[in-house]
Amino acid sequence: MSVKFRGVIPPVPTLFDDREQFDEAAMGRLIDHLLTTEVDGLFFLGSAGEFAHMSDALRTQVMKFCIGHVAGRKPVLVGIAHSGTQATLAFGRLAQEYGADGVVVVNPWYNPLAEDYLFEHYRYIAENLPLPIVLYNFPGLTGQSIPVACIVRLAQTCPNIVGLKDTVDTLSHIREVIHAVKPVRPDFAVFAGYDEYLLGTLILGGDGAIPASANFAPELTCGIYRHWRQGEYDQANALQSRLSWIPALYGLDVPFYNVVKYALTQIGLEIPVHSLRPTGPLTEQRKGQIREALARSKII
């Protein structure tokens, strides 16, 4: 577990052609572009990566290609979540085989779990998978928040559970996690999931963010992190103000996959803007709204 995850890590979109086939050439271009930026790692098969709409075979294909294409140039996190414990572990073993530096695990969805069962889900995976594990709390999509007490218990019990992506639309929850877990596990990394909480998370003692905007606006997200580390707080605050125009984009199309892909085309990348069904193409009106937000944030 030599990799320390911190800073700004984009949840990378998965690229498809107009026949819903994984576009390896375009994906390679996107990865190569991201590797030229200041991002501190890459996260594949997260929410923005459309994992929930994929077959197991497609997830495996995407995982193997992306890890192989990065080829150790920056740390790689891979989402391995499944609705069952054994299936999650199976994806984790594939991630280990293919060379991932760590895995991200959102809690099981559909059936809510008693806290003891939720703890056991993660404990069992950590016991049987030596890779570093980042918990992923996204109650808006899973239907269940991972209790703070459970996070603390896992941090104390499982050395290879190394952090949390907290995608909860309130900074107070991130603060609650930081205050609870850092005293008992100072090296446990706490990441904001939402772009607008990056600077606030750092102020509270957190470790960074895993925001979709890091794909198309790394000059903002990575800039905030860099200025914060250098003690240049006015500059960090100015960039966070620019970044504040971005979150509204994600509500323009639900799910937001094509929003992120289209934003990438607006900064000059030649990539397809297609997603798996049932997601459809962006309307011209939505494209215009995306361009307007990017302009307001001075990205384009």
Structural domains in the chain plus CATH codes: 7-232 (3.20.20.70)
Q: What is the pTM of this model?
A: 0.97
Closest Cα partner for 163 from 12, 59, 41?
41
Neighbours of 294 (CB within 10 A): 21
Of the candidates 165, 182, 261, 287, the residue annotated as catalytic is 165
Is 215's pLDDT higher than 80?
A: yes
Rounded CA separation 138/67 (Å): 24
Report whether pLDDT(32) > 80. yes
Q: How confident is the model over 6-27, as a mean pLDDT? A: 98
| pLDDT beyond 60 at 36 | yes
pLDDT digits (tens, 9 = 90+) for 111-143: 899 999 999 999 999 999 999 999 999 999 999
Do residues 63 and 31 make contact, with C-beta atoms less than 8 angstroms apart?
no
**What does the pLDDT average to over 247-262?**
96
pLDDT, position 142: 92
Per-residue pLDDT, averaged over 80-102, amounts to 97
For tokens 């501190």, the residue is 40
Percentage of residues in the chain having pLDDT higher than 70: 99
How confident is the model over 170-179, as pLDDT tens digits?
Answer: 999 999 999 9
Alpha helices in the chain (DSSP H): 24-35, 56-70, 85-98, 115-128, 139-142, 148-157, 171-181, 198-203, 218-229, 233-243, 257-266, 284-296
Task: Give the pairing of strands 102-106 and 161-166.
Answer: unpaired
The H or E element that residue 205 is part of is none
Residue 67 neighbours by CB under 8 Å, 6+ apart: 44, 76, 78, 95, 98, 99, 100
Catalytic residue at 136?
Answer: yes
DSSP class of residue 251 equals G
Q: Rounded distance, CA 58 to CA 192, Å?
A: 28
Instruction: Identify whether the C-beta of residue 39 lies closer than 8 Å to the C-beta of residue 74.
Output: yes
Mean pLDDT on 83-94: 97
For residue 1, pLDDT over 60 is answered with no
What is the per-residue pLDDT for 209? 99
**Residue 4 pLDDT grade (very low, low, confident, very high; cuts 50, 70, 90):** confident
210 is in an annotated binding site: yes
Per-residue model confidence as pLDDT tens digits over 261-295: 999 999 999 999 999 999 999 999 999 999 999 99
What does the pLDDT read at residue 2? 60
Which of 4, 98, 124, 136 is catalytic? The answer is: 136
What is the pLDDT averaged over residues 234-245? 98
Q: Is residue 165 among the annotated active site residues? A: yes
